[in-house]
Amino acid sequence: MPFECPKLNFLNLRCSKVSNLNLVLTPNLETLDLAHCKNFVEFHMPFECPKLKFLYLSGFKLSNFNLGLTPNILKLDLRGCNNLIELIMLVELPHLTYLNLSGSKVSNLNLGLTTHLRELILEECYCLHEIHAPIGCLNNLVYLKLSGGGSFAYILVDKKFRIPGLHYLAKLKLIVESTDICPRHLNNNLPKFHVKCEYDEPLSLSTRNVEKLISSSLCACTTLKSFSATICGLQRLGELTLIGSIPEAPKDLWLLEGLEKLTLCMKEIKHLPDNICMLIHLKSIHLKSCWLLASR
């Protein structure tokens, strides 16, 4: 492009053999798709692009990316950027609603600056050791998929539209298995768990449960007491399902005041906590494969 293109706002070069691009010549660009352009050795944005809203860089050989250069970005797709080790966020990104970092080597992520995020995908982010998620920062999040790091084999969060006026509560399903390895603390003697987590809540709820789940997801080392505190600290939980190798039910279940349905499939559990009778809204208890349960 030998001349400036002031009216160009959409550019799709997906899967092309383009190896360099001068963004100075496209000052009003809003959408740029360079996904799978394998001839790019390194992609640099030397100056701010305030009008860029949609950026697709899947498969790029990026080592870092500065979001400060795209202050009005709405959607950023960096999936498959296997060399990406740092996502630089120094200022709030009030418009960012979609972020995909699947397969990257990013080690920490600050979600406190992305308060309008609606979709976050972090599959196979094995190097992710820290997620900064202050309470309330993910009120707008409707979909989260996180896998590959810490204690959680995966976290799947899905918020769905519910008919206004009807009674809906959040649902949590945890499949827990013991493990010998914690990626962050190789020599720690604490019990270690590998968890598959499915969480569902209506869009109308603002429980702040997602931040609590994320904060406990990155380290497999835990105690039953802290594990129990995490579960029983969730707000407006209506359904709870626990499956796997947990030797006892959370002792503070009574804190889940709105719990209506409890399902336990725990082969090692021997008794239920006495305070389960304090769950005044509980309508059903399902005990499956609780072979060692001696008292109820």
User: Given CA atoms 109, 198, 232, 170 in this order, what sign does their dihedral have?
Assistant: positive
Beta-carbon contacts of 167 under 8 Å, excluding residues fewer than 6 positions away, are: none
**Residue 264, pLDDT score:** 92
pLDDT band with cut points at 50, 70 and 90 for residue 21: confident
Per-residue pLDDT tens digits for 247-260: 888 888 999 999 99
Cβ count within 10 A of residue 143: 15
Residue 82 scores a pLDDT above 90: yes
Q: What is the mean pLDDT of the chain?
A: 86
Write down all domains in the chain, each with its CATH number in brackets.
1-106 (3.80.10.10), 139-296 (no CATH)
56-77 confidence digits (pLDDT tens): 999 988 899 999 889 999 999 9
Percent of the chain whose predicted confidence (pLDDT) is above 90: 44
Dihedral-angle region of residue 41 (phi above 0 means left; psi in -120 to 50 means alpha; beta otherwise): alpha
Tell me the pLDDT tens digit for each residue of 139-173. 899 999 998 766 677 899 999 887 766 678 899 99
| Per-residue pLDDT, 173 | 94
pLDDT tens for each residue of 24-43: 888 899 999 999 998 887 77
pLDDT exceeds cutoff 70 at 211: yes
What percent helix, strand, coil does the chain show, rounded to 5?
10, 30, 60
Task: Give the pLDDT band of residue 46 (cuts 50, 70, 90).
Answer: confident
> Where is average pLDDT lowest: 7-11, 132-136, 241-245, 280-284?
132-136
Q: What is the CA radius of gyration of the chain?
A: 23
Q: How confident is the model at residue 286 (pLDDT cuts 50, 70, 90)?
A: very high
Residue pLDDT, tens place only, 109-135: 999 999 999 999 999 988 888 888 888
pTM: 0.87
Q: How confident is the model at residue 186 (pLDDT cuts 50, 70, 90)?
A: low
> What pLDDT does residue 295 have?
59
**Residue where the block lists tokens 């920490």:** 108
